[in-house]
Structure 1
Amino acid sequence: MSLIKSFPYQLYLVISEEDCKERNFSDVAEQAILGGVDIIQLREKNASDLDFLDKAICLKEITDKYKIPLIINDNIFVAEKINAFGIHVGNNDIQPSVLRKTSFQNKMIGYSIEYLSQLENNETILSDYLGVSPVFKTQTKTDTVTEWGLEGLKKIRELTEKPLVAIGNIHFKNAKAVIEAGADCIAVVSEICSAENPQKAAFNLKNEIIK
């Protein structure tokens, strides 16, 4: 079973150095936290382990300062080295059932849902939250299988009581609809990372979803 008993997060930032363009990604993360981000995932798909680790150490200084959970995307080495709050894995990554037998037995594990059939497997049972990915297609992640849309999100909500983190082209204008469709939390990349004012963008999103 999953070991995290609650998921008290509403606004989830997925960040990478590349997503922040010319700006310091840790500065963007700090501004986002000040604006209302509850939890952050570092996703560095193209970085070497050591480069990923350097970035994670830098970011963890910020998240520890504000007592914000830091999740590492699909890199056990980095997650263990920095004692991350948890790890997020996809359908083709190392599975939650394997992670629960390692140092992640008491850590948060997120698991991306690309097929409805995944809701019936043991990996879902052993995960703490499910990433519904993507709700809407996005340029920041092109290797996805199913574009769920609001109806797909509603269907997943009907089939599981697990916390749902929705991600994929979510922005200020559709955030409320995504929550109303069944998401417990929205995850964003570009809406904050590409914003002229990340703190204001996070503040606006947070206040839109908690209305």
Structure 2
Amino acid sequence: MRLDLSLYLVLDPDLCGGPEGMIHTARIAAECGATVVQLRAPKWKKRLWLETATVLKAVLDPLGVPLIINDHVDVALAVDAAGVHVGQADLPIAAVRRLVGPNKIVGLSASNAAQLADAPTALADYLGVGPVYPTGTKLDASPVIGLPHFAELMAARPLPVVAIGGIKQGGAAPIIAAGADGVAVVSAICGQADIAAATTTLLQEIEGARA
């Protein structure tokens, strides 16, 4: 499955209103052009991860949108998800790649120049770099990078990059202009009254920045 990082939706169970809300949000966003969907639910037990991921994959596969599982390689393998995303403190990426094999998507979080320089280019497919702006949806997020420093990091990026952290409407275009391949959003879509409009507006902003 082709990896297009343009608009990368990270589902949040609290903002979406639980599993059903996450599935509903993912379906509408994917139909409106979201290019990747990640399931992230740090407080959940594994069975709920598995049940929700199974339905999400069934919804997203016909639309050609890859499902990425945050952290839990076992869940990703169990549902045959498109890939997995891990952080610096999660299972080492070499172990992740051994487990998922050569054909799955593997993403790695990075938040500073040292982590970008050390990025395992032979093992990861993309980097999630942030938080660019202050965020309230990830309580253990690294310190905010800020747009000027983010642009500096992009000048030396070793892999495709999706930016994450506090990105809302109006904040995507500067990130694309700074060199990111795409933006990852949570509250800009999750919990919005009009998911379709929120998704479409963000995509227009991203495409406009590229033009």
| TM-score, normalised relative to structure 2 | 0.92
Which of 4, 11, 21 is matched with 1:8 structurally? 4
Which of 68, 85, 90 is matched with 1:93 structurally? 90
Whole-angstrom distance in 1 between the partners of 2:161 and 2:112:
14
Which segment is superposed worse, 158-167 or 79-88?
Answer: 158-167
Structure 2 residue 13 is matched with structure 1 residue 17: yes
Whole-angstrom distance in 1 between the partners of 2:112 and 2:182:
20
Matching residue's letter, 1:181: A
What displacement does 1:21 show?
Answer: 2.6
Residues 182 and 122 (structure 1 numbering): CA distance in 2 closer, same or farther, change over 3 Å? closer
Secondary structure in 2 aligned to 1:193?
coil
Matching residue's letter, 2:6: Q
Whole-angstrom distance in 2 between the partners of 1:57 and 1:121:
34
Whole-angstrom distance in 2 between the partners of 1:120 and 1:157:
11
- Map residues 30-179 of structure 1 onto 2, 5 A cutoff: 30-121=27-118, 123-179=120-176
Secondary structure in 2 aligned to 1:100?
helix
What displacement does 1:115 show?
Answer: 2.7
Secondary structure in 2 aligned to 1:112?
strand
Which segment is superposed worse, 196-205 or 145-154?
Answer: 145-154
Whole-angstrom distance in 2 between the partners of 1:103 and 1:144:
26
Residues 157 and 145 (structure 1 numbering): CA distance in 2 closer, same or farther, change over 3 Å? same
User: Which residue in the other structure is 1:182 paired with?
Assistant: 179
Deviations 1:111-139 (A, max 9, x none): 00023211222535421101012111111
Residues 161 and 123 (structure 1 numbering): CA distance in 2 closer, same or farther, change over 3 Å? closer
Residues 132 and 20 (structure 1 numbering): CA distance in 2 closer, same or farther, change over 3 Å? same
Consecutive aligned runs of 4 or more in structure 1 exceeding 6 Å deviation:
none
- Verify the 8 A CA contact 2:117 2:158 in the aligned structure 1: no
Unaligned runs of 5+ in 2: none
User: Which residue in the other structure is 2:25 paired with?
Assistant: 28
Secondary structure in 2 aligned to 1:44?
coil
Deviations 1:45-96 (A, max 9, x none): 1111111111111111111121210000000111000111010000100121
Aligned residue-pair number:
207
Residues 208 and 69 (structure 1 numbering): CA distance in 2 closer, same or farther, change over 3 Å? same
Which segment is superposed worse, 177-186 or 95-104?
Answer: 95-104
Residues 210 and 52 (structure 1 numbering): CA distance in 2 closer, same or farther, change over 3 Å? same
- Verify the 8 A CA contact 1:114 1:144 in the aligned structure 2: no
- Verify the 8 A CA contact 2:119 2:158 in the aligned structure 1: no
Structure 2 residue 195 is matched with structure 1 residue 198: yes
